Structure 1
Amino acid sequence: MDDITAIYYKKLKHSSDALNTIFLEEYHGFANKEFLNLTTKQSILLELLNANSLTNNEISNHFSITPSAATQLVSKLEKKGFLKREINVNNRREIIVHLDEKGKEYNQIMANFELYIIQKYYSKLNENDLENLVDLQQKLYNIATEIQQKEKK
């Protein structure tokens, strides 16, 4: 690694951390206390279930965790009223996970929060800047996934 790359990384990390702090402060104004206590995996799972229901195995595969860990993840959210589980009528050994009322409320608040952030901050960037931001983020993501795949082999 060269010194220039390290300097840019540190600048990027500093600005990214500062921006995340601002967004987190904004989020605190939107979310109730119970939502603030969710882990990253729990939040991601709630967002995934916003699109459609998933089986325990699909959740396990998505997070690259064991089925037992997926069950624990679902159980914690189910106890808090965010999710509900049902037995698949077509395959009684399969459990289907759906959003419950708090999960739906969480996703609605997140949708409102995202719109707020877009209008307050991202709308100040022109289309070219937005396109560059997305392109660079995608490039970095592609590099990271490629390296991870090589390391797994």
Structure 2
Amino acid sequence: MDNQNENELFNLVTEINEITYSMNARLIKEYRSLLNEDLSSKQIILMDLVKKESRLSISQLAELMNVTSSAVSQIVSKLEREKYLLRTINPNNRREIIVQLDERGHHYYSKEEEINKEIVNRFYSRLKMEEVIQLRDILVKLNNVVEEELSREEMRGE
């Protein structure tokens, strides 16, 4: 790629990133208050992982978050006290603690789904279906490129 094309690509990607950041920041500002929860980003990441898998052990969470089991236990303890998460002992391995969403955790994600539906109805519905499909396909393609490249680097030990 020559310098002119490289600069043009860089400028386009910079513009895309700024637009995406600005849009997401406005949506978060508009809708975060509706969730009315006082959760840190680490707590939300941990809860997102639990929601996605429905149940995870403390050690699995630690591995996924790239932190110690002790750090995960501290976050889980606070979220358990506030009824976002529930800890139970794995009956098949009594030394393993399983984490699942609790009452407030389920409520949080129900509310989040309502907000996402409102965002779709309010904003995405103003695009043509083909445009939404095209946007999704481009993002999937870019995500695959990133994953392939990073996997290649990991295999080379970089």
TM-score interval for Structure 1 and Structure 2 normalised by the shorter chain:
0.7 to 0.9
Task: Answer with 1 or 2: which has the greater Rg.
Answer: 2
Pair 1:16 & 2:20 matched = yes
RMSD: 2.0
More relative contact order, 1 or 2 (CA 8 Å, 6+ apart) = 1
Shift of 1:33: 4.2
Structure 1 unmatched runs, 5+: none
Shift of 1:75: 2.7
Structure 2 unmatched runs, 5+: none
Shift of 1:103: 0.9
1:26 to 26, 30, 33: 30
Amino acid at match of 2:50: L
Aligned to 2:45: 44
Aligned to 1:94: 96
Amino acid at match of 1:16: T
1:53 to 52, 55, 63: 55
- Per the alignment, in what secondary structure is the counterpart of residue 97 of structure 2? strand
Counterpart contact for 1:55–1:95, Cα < 8 Å: yes
Distance 1:13 1:32, change over 3 A: same
TM-score (norm 2): 0.82
Counterpart contact for 1:46–1:107, Cα < 8 Å: no
Shift of 1:119: 0.8
Distance 1:8 1:146, change over 3 A: same
Query: 1: distance between equivalents of 2:146 and 2:73?
Result: 28
Counterpart contact for 1:50–1:99, Cα < 8 Å: yes
Distance 1:73 1:146, change over 3 A: farther
Q: How many residues align?
A: 150
Counterpart contact for 1:82–1:102, Cα < 8 Å: yes
Query: 2: distance between equivalents of 1:68 and 1:47?
Result: 19
Aligned to 1:146: 148
Same amino acid, percent of matched pairs: 31
Aligned to 1:128: 130
Stretch deviating more after TM superposition (133-142 or 65-74): 65-74
Runs of 4 or more off by more than 6 Å in structure 1?
none
